[in-house]
Amino acid sequence: MLEDMKKLEQTWRWYGPEDPVSLQDIKQAGATGIVTALHHIPHGEVWPANEIAERKRVIEEAGFRWSVVESVPVHEAIKTRSEQAEYYIDNYKQSLKNLASCGVKTVCYNFMPVLDWTRTQLELELKDGSKALYFNWTDLAVFDLFILKRKNAEKDYSEKIKLEAKKRFETYTEEKLQELQYNILMGIPGEKNIDINELNKSIAVYAKIGAEGLRQNLLYFLQSIADVCEENGILMTIHPDDPPYSILGLPRIASSLEDYKYITEGVNKKFNGVCFCTGSLGAGNAHLLPEMFDELKERIYFVHLRNVKKDSEGNFYEADHLDGDVNMYEVVKRITAENQKRETAIPFRPDHGHQMLDDLNKITNPGYSAIGRLRGLAELRGLELGILGN
């Protein structure tokens, strides 16, 4: 019977007290868990136990559980394994200990070089008037070839894209070019944005490290924190690269099933898990997601549900949660089946959402307005209940 079936934990990403979407708003959306981080603490610094406890108090007094930390950022010195790597790994381990002492034990993180998720447009207007996040290869080439002016960048684009990029650059106003640069370099809300000089220096560093070097640095990081995670019951979940292919010459190492097998088998311990993001992975090979979940399910501790639509050139926009290239029914069916085997429900959140209705007139964090995610959560909740009832 339906009442005997275990439901997924419905969570919501909240950027803290400065988030335009309040905890009261989230309560009305029906989520019970909060996904958040101490975004005001600079990357690499220790998260003090008292600040963690205070954030947890605020969340719990509002009637929620702090379900997942997203994220404790991995400092660039760790990703590049520079001479300061050990210092920042020690800080990271202390932050994990402090989180565990407060009862927060599921941590989402990524190992993307320099940039977090990357889009070229933050307000693509759809046919219904709502707005979505968009990634376009030609606009990326405009930035790469004519703004960033990365060495040998032309080798990464087809002749067709290079020709179109040149045409666009010549017609784009200075304001349009600044907007494009802002979109691509935008950081996580509440954290520091990247600048052109910093990006160029990092690209040169990662050119020497390469994909294989970055993989080895990730395994070294995981091996270094393994004891702390196992002693404190911490579950680490690595978020896939977004988009799941190399951009701006930066290597990507968490973009495919093969990548995830390398990571989970490279440090083959329970704490070393996966954040299964259908949007990020779906921008690569959406049709493979059900198979990917089946292969990785025992290590999946956190789920982002989001959909994308991609064209023949690989450009994509973020679609409605149930209407895109990802077969959300097949994915959620597998997640709900796996959830029945767990002692603790798998947390998921509606990842991103269209800016729509009243939110069109508000200042919101790109992808994280209230109403679009509320719609997504409602649709996903209904999908889960329909699957459980069959």
Which is catalytic among the residues 277, 321, 354, 359?
277
* Placement of tokens 């995830």 in the chain: 260
Which is catalytic among the residues 15, 134, 317, 368?
368
The question of whether 4 is a catalytic residue gets the answer no
Which is catalytic among the residues 15, 19, 109, 304?
304
The question of whether 352 is a catalytic residue gets the answer yes
Which is catalytic among the residues 75, 321, 352, 354?
352
The question of whether 329 is a catalytic residue gets the answer no
| Cβ proximity of 74 and 92 under 8 Å | yes
CA 387/CA 383 separation, integer angstroms = 6
Which is catalytic among the residues 239, 317, 320, 321?
239
Which is catalytic among the residues 259, 320, 351, 359?
351
The question of whether 304 is a catalytic residue gets the answer yes
Catalytic residues: 239, 277, 304, 351-352, 368
